[in-house]
Structure 1
Amino acid sequence: MVSEIFELMSIREQISNLSVRESELVKPKLSDLSLIPYLHNYFIEAFGMGNTRKLGAIQRKKFVFIIVLLYSPSTLAGGCLNRGVRDGLAHALKLNAPSAVSRICSDLIFSYQHYRDFRLDVDNKIALMEGKLRSDGYL
């Protein structure tokens, strides 16, 4: 019985540590939603949007992944998008319905985990965009 009390104490300490770590991981790097169009313009200038419909959709998906990572990282772990991010993305991407952003978000982490080319390209683009944000004083 006493050993169970010590086990319970250990579990509570672990939960507390995990809670602290979770709050560190879900904190977005950016909160100023007015930067989304700026980032979209930079993305297009630096990487283009593809010369076919399919390549354009893949580039759009990569851009959405990067914005979600910067503004709402918990979304990639199954959480909801932070307030305003979906509308900001829909506006920047000139989508008629913000729900289109939700559809794009639905399989972002799957694509990142299962498609090596997607993952490598996104990682490269994230590094370049974060470098741009740092040089411009936003990070």
Structure 2
Amino acid sequence: MNEEAKINMGKIAALKTMRNKVLELSQIFEELGEPILTDLALLPTIHEAYKRVYARRGCPQDAMLVRNRKKFIMVVLYLYSPKALAGDRMRMGLRKIISELFGLTTSTPISDNSASLIIEYNAYADFRRDVDLILNEVFEALPDESFVFD
């Protein structure tokens, strides 16, 4: 090097600014990702609310499999683990309880069904309508003190 070496203070300042932005975004992510429900013991009640939506339509029990199960999973993730809908990890224990509610011996279908939920919600009006119906049924079924609203 022919020139004198100097510390690039512009680079340091940019790094500091970026670090502060990352911390701020991380804090916002955590705040937005706070669950609406925390008590996993409410999941059977939520499952019953889900089943009522389809019972009112006269749907047979087997009609509630796969595609309709995805709707239930979407509601549960929104309530208990919204960050999972954004690609983060699902809350510990949630996958197992959902599997049990559907009589599954493994939680793999729950993971598999979770991958495309946001795409389906945004792309398909009937999927979105049903998810919103289930969510409203859940809100009606649970006591107000169950929810963790700011």
TM > 0.5 fold call:
yes
Residue 90 of structure 1, CA deviation:
1.0
Identity of aligned residues (%): 30
Q: How much has 1:65 moved relative to structure 2?
A: 0.8
Q: Distance in 2 between matches of 1:47 and 1:53?
A: 11
SS of the residue 2:146 aligns to:
coil
The answer for the alignment partner of 1:138 in structure 2 is 146
- Write 1 or 2 for the structure with the bigger share of helix: 1
Residue 54 of structure 2 contacts residue 64 of structure 2 at CA under 8 Å; is this kept in 1?
Answer: no
- Seen in structure 2, the aligned counterparts of structure 1 residues 121 and 10 have a Cα distance that, compared at 3 Å, is same
The number of residues matched between the two structures is: 138
Aligned counterpart in structure 1 of residue 68 of structure 2, from 59, 71, 77: 59
Per-residue CA deviation, residues 93-114 of structure 1 (Å, 9 max, x unaligned), is 2223222211221221221122
Per chain length, whose mean CA-contact separation is higher, i.e. which structure has more relative contact order (CA < 8 Å, sep 6+)? 2
- Look up the match of 1:16: 23
Q: Does 1:81 align with 2:84?
A: no
Give the superposition deviation at 1:55.
5.7
Q: How much is the aligned-residue C-alpha RMSD, in angstroms?
A: 2.4
SS of corresponding position for 1:79:
coil
SS in 2 for 1:95: coil
* SS of corresponding position for 1:37: helix
More displaced stretch, 104-113 vs 54-63: 54-63
- SS in structure 1 of the partner of residue 70 of structure 2: helix
- Show the counterpart of 1:44: 51
Contact 2:46 2:141 in 1 (8 A): no
Candidates 1, 11, 33, aligned match of 1:4: 11
* Structure-2 change in CA distance of 1:131 and 1:3 (3 Å): farther
Q: Which amino acid aligns with 1:113?
A: N
Matches of 2:126 and 2:146, distance apart in 1 = 28
TM-score, with structure 2 as normaliser: 0.76
Instruction: Name the counterpart of 1:69.
Output: 78
Q: What is the CA deviation profile of residues 13-53 of structure 1, one whole-angstrom value per residue up to 9, with x for unaligned ones?
A: 21111011011122222222111111101221244383385
Q: What corresponds to 2:116 in structure 1? A: 107
For structure 1, the 5+ residue unaligned runs are: none
